[in-house]
Structure 1
């Protein structure tokens, strides 16, 4: 029987001109408690860069997970406000996977 893992969602977004990756942990309601990684470049981090950042934070994508993308407005009340991409992928703790 396949082992079940706690799935967490990793998000990648542009914040103040820099790309940020963070893992929204279940059971940690405050965003300040979530692991995060800031990328120095302003261009979208590559798949490899995102994978390395997740690994450094102690996470791996769950089997068959893929990055999905959506967009969000900087001011949802203003349809003319700039939009930014938001990527997300389901991940699991490397520590849990090793157990």
Structure 2
């Protein structure tokens, strides 16, 4: 099974989970839109990944990172990005 990175971010007020597929146009990456509201729980994220055809790699844990909206301006709003290693399972897109 090939490994990929799944990421959770908030865009235009909506939480979106997507799986990064190298060599594939971003518009074709598998994704799940959680809508607006609070950060999706780990269980909700896991179910969404399963629905997309992916599972966590052994020992994988979500890692959160913050980064400025404008990298050259430390007073710009901070964005959050969570990531975790996943692999495709039978029927998953890879």
User: Which structure has greater strand proportion?
Assistant: 2
Q: Which whole-Å deviations, capped at 9, do the CAs of 1:69-97 have from their partners, x for residues lacking one?
A: 10121111221111021000000111179
User: Which structure has greater helix proportion?
Assistant: 1
Question: CA 1:77–1:37 in structure 2 vs 1: closer, same or farther (change >3 Å)?
Answer: same
TM-score, normalisation: structure 1: 0.86
**Matched-pair contact (CA < 8 Å) for 2:16–2:31:** yes
- Mapped pair 1:70 → 2:85: no
Root mean square deviation of aligned Cα: 1.5
**Matched-pair contact (CA < 8 Å) for 2:9–2:81:** yes
- Mapped pair 1:8 → 2:4: yes
| 2:42 aligned partner | 47
For structure 2, the residue ranges without an aligned partner over 5 or more in a row are none
| 1:61 aligned partner | 56
TM-score, normalisation: structure 2: 0.90
Q: Displacement of 1:40 after TM fit?
A: 1.9
Q: Is the partner of 1:39 in helix, strand or coil?
A: strand
**Matched-pair contact (CA < 8 Å) for 2:7–2:18:** yes
For structure 1, the residue ranges without an aligned partner over 5 or more in a row are none
Give the structure with higher Rg (CA): 1
1:89 to 84, 89, 92: 84
Provide runs of 4+ in structure 1 moved above 6 Å.
none
